[in-house]
Amino acid sequence: MKVKITAWIDGEYFNSDVFLDEGKTLIDLLKQISTERKIALFNIVTKEDSGIDPRYMIKVNNCLIQSNRLNIPLCPNDHVVVANRFQFAAGG
């Protein structure tokens, strides 16, 4: 099945269609994609307990994924977006 992934992580940009076997999960996709530094996206955006690192966000079809939901199955034509969370300084 074909899944689209767009990632903008720590200044690196990736946008591509990825082909996965049926029944694969978001975890499988994140482990399959490597950055320019040859590090799996999964290792960058997750914490040791496999939850999402709070510095990053993941959306599937424009729905924000909760930290404990990385094992969701993907469907054909899903669009996964991985990006840094923007943090704003307080004050004026």
Q: What is the pLDDT of residue 92?
A: 47
Task: State the DSSP H helix or E strand holding residue 7, giving kind and residue range, or none if neither.
Answer: strand 2-9
Q: What is the pLDDT of residue 87?
A: 55
Is 25 inside a domain boundary?
yes
Residue-number span of the structural domain to which 11 is assigned: 2-84
Q: What is the pLDDT of residue 77?
A: 97
Please tell me the distance from the alpha carbon of residue 6 to that of residue 16, in angstroms, as a whole number.
7
State the total domains in the chain. 1
Q: Residue 19: give its domain's CATH number.
A: 3.10.20.30
Q: What is the pLDDT of residue 59?
A: 96
Is 89 inside a domain boundary?
no
Phi, psi (degrees; rounded to nearest 5) at 74? -95, 155
- Would you give per-residue pLDDT tens digits along the chain (92 residues)? 999 999 998 888 989 999 999 999 999 999 999 888 899 999 999 987 768 999 999 999 999 999 889 999 999 999 999 999 875 545 54
Is 91 inside a domain boundary?
no
pTM score of the predicted model = 0.88
